Chains A and B, each alone.
Chain A
Amino acid sequence: MANHVVIPKIYYQGTFVALIILTVITVAVSRIDLGVLHTPVAILIALIKAGLVGAFFMGLRWERANLIFVFGAVMAIVLFFLFTFIDIEGRGAITDIVERPYNYKSPVTVTPMDSSGAPH
């Protein structure tokens, strides 16, 4: 197949090493107490990893035109999150509005948490 970009192996190997390192970092930072940054940092690392997979394994670095699909999908997801949360922020959980346990068929047997908060 002519005129097709064949990507040098070194890019794949580099990406692979980076992904492993970032996975270890993900676990490591989750053990540290970062306060409010806890979730954003985890998501940021995941985004970097996804970006690496997309750019090198999936070849987007060499085929920029297909980025339009990534862009479209990401924008749609951003809107999905944004508007849903604009509503939920202003409204609160349905279970907060109705008096609990209103008709609440909870399958969970509630037990008080022990002092450490650990599972029993």
Chain B
Amino acid sequence: MKNYITEKKGLLSWLFTKDHKRIGIMYLFSVFGAFAVGGFAALLVRLELFTPDQLILTAKQYNQSFTLHGAIMVFLFIIPSIPATLGNFILPLQLGANDVAFPKLNLASFHVYILGALVCILSIFMGGIDTGWTFYTPYSTTTDTAVVTMVVGAFILGFSSILTGVNFIATIHYLRAPGMTWFRMPLFAWSLYATSIIQILATPVLAITLVLLILERMWGIGIFDPAIGGDPVLFQHFFWFYSHPAVYIMILPAMGVISELVTTFSRKNIFGYKAIAMSSIAIAVISFLVWGHHMYTSESELAATLFSILTFLVAIPSGVKIFNWIATLYKGSISFETPFLYFLGFLFLFVIGGFTGIFLGTLSTNIHLHDTYFVVAHFHYVMFGGTLYAFLGGLHYWWPKMFGKMYSEYLAKWAFWLIFIGFNMTFFVQFIMGSKGMPRRYYNYVDEFAIYHQISTVGSWIIAIGFIVMLIYLVKSLRSGKKADKNPWGALTLEWLTDSPPQYHAFSKTPVVTSPPYDYKASSHE
């Protein structure tokens, strides 16, 4: 029987497909390509920091490397990672639909993504960019590096993100299977809905910010550059109005994946379904209230105080989710397969990331920790330990569905532990050196920080080995993996009703939903 992979042949049948599954797969390979480039830049940065003085990079190359790492990881990897790959592939199947609402738009969003990625890569060859991924003015309007090219790339990528958001909103509103009410929708779909809200309300502000930045740099219209009467702090407001919600664009889908993992591998109905669903929406709303906590040292005291108070609100819906996941584990029949390990890793690392966020959200401690490695470590615990772990967990969870092949559990566990140990080695010491006062983004540092930096750099190598192991067993799985069943994990959501891999028309008969998504009790009675 033909499936979506064998349905048509040839490269063009992939590049111009309107099938959400194929687009998801193309996104998957693209974001992993971006991840490799961004990861390579990170390894360069860590290697340079192995010694207090110059090792392999000049100061300018160092600045370009960490900017490249930040910009590529944020705009090309994390933001599209879960929504555009797993979301594209899984969301319609989970809703019992045969495609997203606008397949042409979906393909356009992929093409726009590739165009944006090419422009970003072009900027590397045009001399790189050394502003950091935040493009703060006035440095970004005066430095002689290829700021405009990179900013145009980010602007184009923003469009791709908006189009995905529009598509998912329409899909979730109107393509749910008959009988699937809003509160019978899987939690992954809920989290993507919340993500899409942020994508359409915040991303356009990034677009206009970047347009203004380009105009400022090329024509000096006088908006952000203080030398011609502009206000550089206004740029920070504009930038963070998008970029704070953007970190929730990154983490919300991750939380959705985690909700799926925890219920499947405990074989138990999720605890507090409505609370988890609503907390996703709550996070989306709160994300618009807290952007000023990135600007404690530049904004007025009144604003900083207000933003500090509001920032603590984020802890409430996040805490709701964490406690509900833990409560789901209680008396479940847990099996420790690879996706579940990533769930545990997520829980452990995300809680550390979340708690250190409380320190940073507190105005007074933030003044001490501002722009130190503490912030770097916090951010990586949330983004790497949170989003990337959930992405990898989701990838291992849905891999049999996407490709119809199993992977080696043995090597997958090895990769998990290598990445987990390497990650903590790399970033936990950064909390310590940050609290001791090591500023972020510095090229050289005083000798007493050398030991921390060296531990961190060795950790980054262990992470790299972990990902190489992962690459090996995933490629092996594609070539000669054991054939996967329709439903290898015994999960209940609709995507597992389709073949592995699904046919082009995944559902020949539209499924009718009669129960909540994770009703393990009812299904065991059948």
Asked if B302 and A106 sit within 8 Å, CB to CB, the answer is no
CA distance A98 to B138 in the complex (A): 15
Closest approach, in angstroms, between the C-beta of B282 and any C-beta of chain A?
Answer: 14
B contact residues around A73 at 8 Å (CB): 201
B contact residues around A103 at 8 Å (CB): 226-227
What DSSP secondary structure best describes chain B's contact surface? helix
B234 contacts partner chain A, Cβ-Cβ < 8 Å: yes
- Kindly identify, within residues 299 to 317 of chain B, every residue whose CB is under 8 Å from any CB belonging to chain A: 299-303, 306-307
A contact residues around B307 at 8 Å (CB): 83
With an 8 Å Cβ cutoff, the count of chain B residues facing the other chain is 27
CA distance A103 to B202 in the complex (A): 34
A contact residues around B229 at 8 Å (CB): 95, 104, 106
B233 contacts partner chain A, Cβ-Cβ < 8 Å: yes
Q: Mark B220-242, 1 if CB is under 8 A from A, else 0.
A: 00000011111111100100010
Q: Mark B285-307, 1 if CB is under 8 A from A, else 0.
A: 00011011001000111110011
CA distance A73 to B197 in the complex (A): 10
CA distance A29 to B124 in the complex (A): 54
Closest to A108 in B: B229
With an 8 Å Cβ cutoff, the count of chain A residues facing the other chain is 23
Q: Mark A59-99, 1 if CB is under 8 A from B, else 0.
A: 00000000000001101100110011011111101110010
A contact residues around B201 at 8 Å (CB): 72-73, 76
B450 contacts partner chain A, Cβ-Cβ < 8 Å: no
Partner of B233, one of A89, A91, A98: A91
Binding site for A on B (CB under 8 A): 197, 201-202, 205, 226-234, 237, 241, 288-289, 291-292, 295, 299-303, 306-307
Q: Mark A1-30, 1 if CB is under 8 A from B, else 0.
A: 000000000000000000000000000000
A105 contacts partner chain B, Cβ-Cβ < 8 Å: yes
Partner of A83, one of B228, B230, B292: B292
**What are 21 A-B pairs with beta-carbon distances under 8 A?**
A76-B288, A79-B289, A83-B303, A84-B234, A84-B237, A86-B303, A86-B306, A87-B292, A87-B300, A89-B300, A90-B299, A90-B301, A90-B303, A91-B300, A91-B303, A94-B226, A94-B230, A95-B229, A103-B227, A105-B227, A105-B228
